[in-house]
């Protein structure tokens, strides 16, 4: 069994980046606390009943299947709103840093974790590269698109900077991850093909 956790919210605010799996989690919001509580429950099962539950701490996945209206997915919101001519809402100055990974790559790493038979129980799944929300918007502009943005006051529940160390999971995957530019273009083509 693989439990899909949340890398950014579980770790909270960390001074040393990228954050590896040995860092003490310190969530700053309820969502991260709940994810960490579920992780610890999985570890209890592993310890008491000798199960083999793997915890996958996924950074910020994006791509086909995501729906930002459910509360997550900045790239999803940015591309869909740009295509529809709707302003993109950013809480803060747009300088919060996140680590985005294309969903196809997430699935590739998870496939390797299914086959994993080692003793480790926690793996970060990420690109290992951080970028701001404003940086994402700039890349969308470089695609010839024209996003409209509205900035609101920042929220205390948002981590300012989180990039995950993916060396452990990539030692299993051994594949190359899609670059952010490639992922944005692929997702944009997908959305245009689906006509939203």
Catalytic residues: 31
| CA dist., res. 22 & res. 162, Å (int) | 15
Q: Is 46 within 8 Å of 121 (Cβ atoms)?
A: yes
E strand or H helix that includes residue 122 = strand 122-125
CA atoms within 13 A on the CB side of 56: 21
Could you give the angle at the alpha carbon of 104 between the alpha carbons of 99 and 105, nearest 5°?
A: 50
| DSSP code of residue 53 | P
As a whole number of angstroms, the distance between CA 10 and CA 26 comes to 7
Question: CA angle 127-189-186, nearest 5°?
Answer: 20
- The DSSP bridge partners found for residue 60 are 100
């Amino acid at each position: 069994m693989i439990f899909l956790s949340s890398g950014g919210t579980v770790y909270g605010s960390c001074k040393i980046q990228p954050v590896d799996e040995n860092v003490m989690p310190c969530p700053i919001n309820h969502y991260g606390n709940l994810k960490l509580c579920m992780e610890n429950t999985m570890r209890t099962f592993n310890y008491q009943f000798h199960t083999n539950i793997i915890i996958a701490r996924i950074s910020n996945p994006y791509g086909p299947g995501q729906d930002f209206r459910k509360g997550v997915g900045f790239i999803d919101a940015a591309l869909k709103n740009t295509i529809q001519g709707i302003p993109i809402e950013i809480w803060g100055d747009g300088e919060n840093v996140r680590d985005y990974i294309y969903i196809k790559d997430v699935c590739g790493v998870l496939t390797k974790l299914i086959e994993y038979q080692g003793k480790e129980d926690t793996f970060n799944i990420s690109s290992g590269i951080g970028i701001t929300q404003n940086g994402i918007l700039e890349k969308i502009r470089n695609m010839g698109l024209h996003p409209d943005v509205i900035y609101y006051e920042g929220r205390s529940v948002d981590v300012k900077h989180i990039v995950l160390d993916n060396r452990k999971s990539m030692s299993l995957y051994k594949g190359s991850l899609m670059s952010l530019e490639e992922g944005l273009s692929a997702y944009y083509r997908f959305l245009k093909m689906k006509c939203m």
